[in-house]
Structure 1
Amino acid sequence: MTIGQKKTIYRNEYIVSVITRDRFLLLLKLKFWHFCDDSSAIHNSNKLTKIHDLANMLNSRFQEVLTPGKFVVIDESMIPWRGRLKLKQYIKNKSHKYGVKIYKLCTPEGYTYNSIIYSGKGENGREQNHGKVTVLKLIQGLENKCRIVIADNFYSSIELAEEILSHKTRYCGTLRSNRRGLLKAIVSLKLKKGEIKGAMNKNGVKIIKWVDKRQLLMISTVKEDEDVLVNTGKKNKKTNENIKKPTCVLTYNNNKKGVDFSDQMSLYYSSTLKRGLKWFRKVGMEYLFGMALVNAWITYNMKNDKVSKS
């Protein structure tokens, strides 16, 4: 019998298929995992051809199972990969700094509703307004429902906030001081610790500057967000004073954890650290045993909570 050959045993009128040890080990090492037709992938210029079909299928299934509520969170995740790869990225503040970057839209509970695999620069070089384009792609189908998008300063801009506000979708996030269209009177304003100042343009986009341990610039189109401090219900352990923060900061902090929680739960039983895999197999395993498994666990818990409350 050759390596990898399957043997059939006839036992008590039942047919039992037995694979050899070598075939089992080859399957265990995932050497035969493919998510597309390799013959067509060779002549395809799309960098994501080998994983495109699986990602699209799972994204569509994620969107069928659960519909997000009032808040949705957008952030990026990294699938570790240090080999040669054109779409490999580097993010210094991630636990895995090198790898394949995935933009994710999650609920605050950690359910991944949509995702986009970043394939690097296109033929025309760096994409203009990349953060804005990414957010618009991720929230496609969720507009006109008065949802609130939470994202960090990589995505935030005046143009993005105005664009999604025209589709009855609000935005709240941190903001970089060098973005186009910002009010210089607010950005350049020097404040003392604990002070807050804000302004709103004619389209309803608010820019709020607050100084705590450092200066923080926020952008929001939420009606309740004003340039005032509210009590958080917590006290400073040293001074025993009430801790106060702007409402936009509280909204951001309470909901931004969605993507981080999803990454944390998938990391506990992650198989993407297994060495010797092709990059598309690692990405496929992350979709199957990371996102899909965590989503199933979250929906199971949500269903059980509803049953217990009823």
Structure 2
Amino acid sequence: MGIIVAPSQDMYFTKDKLFRPIAIHERITRDRMDKLHQYFHVADTTQNPPKRQPGHDKLAHIRPILENVRQKLQSEYRLHKETSIDEAMIAYTGRLGFKQYVPLKPTKRGIKVWMRADPNNGYVNDLQVYTGKENNVPERGLGERIVKDLTRKVWGQNHHVYCDNYFSSVGLFEELLANKTYACGTIRANRKGLPASIVHGKLKNQGDLRQQQKGNLVSTAWHDKRTVLLLTTNSDPTRNTTVQRKQKDGTIREVPCPEAVKHYTQNMNGVWIGQINFVPLTVLQGKHQVVEIHFLVPG
């Protein structure tokens, strides 16, 4: 079944030879296969508290495999200096309590996974499955917690972390810097601690730039097609570069650009590359419920 993949499991047991890909039905019945799926587990869940009780683990059925995968991903690979953090969606349309719907993603329905990946090759170095709200109450500071959870094991090694505006905040970047970890990311205008001149300053022309610095923390407003806000602790605000932009008359113009923008563009794609290189590991959870964890295998 792993070599010859059918659109659905029932197709392996159909009586129509035209649509039956292989002769599994001669060795096991469909009902027997369903029973194996119903009762097969890779973990002892007898100690897992009931649903809605303190300490209940929604991933208890696959926790041993998941943690073993995470440990191997980290131990078998040495990171480059740069690492990026973002969310990924694993397509899944079955019944699952923490299934997410994200309309702006290419994969709109499925399991949301927070990932830290190497932008040089897409290697997924750590991951955390999002299991939804607890007691229907959203978690405060979720983005900051995710970044700290996924990077804590590499603190003190002078890595450069890249993340988007969902995660970035002044407090997070200061805490990372205090632990010898640098950061770069876009940031939302309503985040606490951003200078008013950066948030409210009007930039009209393409290439216009405004920056303010506090120690190693640099906030930047740069106007491209619209104004982009960035927060960095790993860039020199005095060093600028250019990017090519096509004008309305078809000509190419060199637009002044802060170095931080180019660093962000080059290194924020680690999770996206990692998704292309996913290898599926299928594990079972409950009756007729299949959860797939995808990751880049070492080597």
Q: TM-score range by the shorter chain?
A: 0.7 to 0.9
Give the secondary-structure state (helix, strand or coil) at the position aligned to 2:79: coil
Q: Which residue of 2 aligns with 1:254?
A: 266
Q: In the alignment, is residue 174 of structure 1 matched against residue 176 of structure 2?
A: no
TM-score norm. by structure 1 comes to 0.76
Q: Paired residue for 2:43, among 21, 36, 46?
A: 36
Give the aligned residue type for 1:194: G
Give the aligned residue type for 2:149: K
Alpha-carbon separation, structure 2, partners of 1:64 and 1:262: 18
Shift of 1:143: 0.7
**Structure 2, gaps ≥5 residues long:** 1-23
Alpha-carbon separation, structure 2, partners of 1:248 and 1:134: 23
Q: In the alignment, is residue 46 of structure 1 matched against residue 23 of structure 2?
A: no
Q: Which residue of 1 aligns with 2:13?
A: none
Q: In the alignment, is residue 196 of structure 1 matched against residue 209 of structure 2?
A: yes
Partners of 1:200 and 1:207 within 8 A in 2: yes
Q: Which residue of 1 aligns with 2:17?
A: none
Q: Paired residue for 1:100, among 88, 94, 111?
A: 111
Partners of 1:196 and 1:227 within 8 A in 2: no
Q: Which residue of 2 aligns with 1:222?
A: 234
Q: Which residue of 2 aligns with 1:65?
A: 76
TM-score norm. by structure 2 comes to 0.78
Alpha-carbon separation, structure 1, partners of 2:232 and 2:187: 10
* TM-aligned CA distance change 1:42 to 1:22, over 3 Å: farther
Give the secondary-structure state (helix, strand or coil) at the position aligned to 1:49: coil
Single out whichever of 251-260 and 241-250 deviates more from structure 2: 241-250
Alpha-carbon separation, structure 2, partners of 1:228 and 1:65: 36
Percent identity (aligned)? 29
Alpha-carbon separation, structure 2, partners of 1:261 and 1:191: 33
- Tell me the alpha carbon deviations over residues 173-216 of structure 1, each in whole angstroms, 9 at most, x when there is no partner: 11101111111111100012220111012x43211000111110
**Structure 1, gaps ≥5 residues long:** 1-17, 300-310
Give the aligned residue type for 2:277: M
Alpha-carbon separation, structure 2, partners of 1:264 and 1:173: 23
- Tell me the alpha carbon deviations over residues 92-119 of structure 1, each in whole angstroms, 9 at most, x when there is no partner: 2211212211100000111011111111
Q: In the alignment, is residue 21 of structure 1 matched against residue 24 of structure 2?
A: no
* TM-aligned CA distance change 1:81 to 1:30, over 3 Å: farther
Corresponding residue pairs, total: 264
Partners of 2:235 and 2:260 within 8 A in 1: no
Partners of 1:236 and 1:243 within 8 A in 2: no
- Tell me the alpha carbon deviations over residues 21-62 of structure 1, each in whole angstroms, 9 at most, x when there is no partner: 225996699826532235445747221111221111100011
* TM-aligned CA distance change 1:195 to 1:133, over 3 Å: same
Q: Which residue of 2 aligns with 1:3?
A: none
* TM-aligned CA distance change 1:278 to 1:156, over 3 Å: farther
Give the aligned residue type for 2:223: V
Partners of 1:197 and 1:210 within 8 A in 2: yes
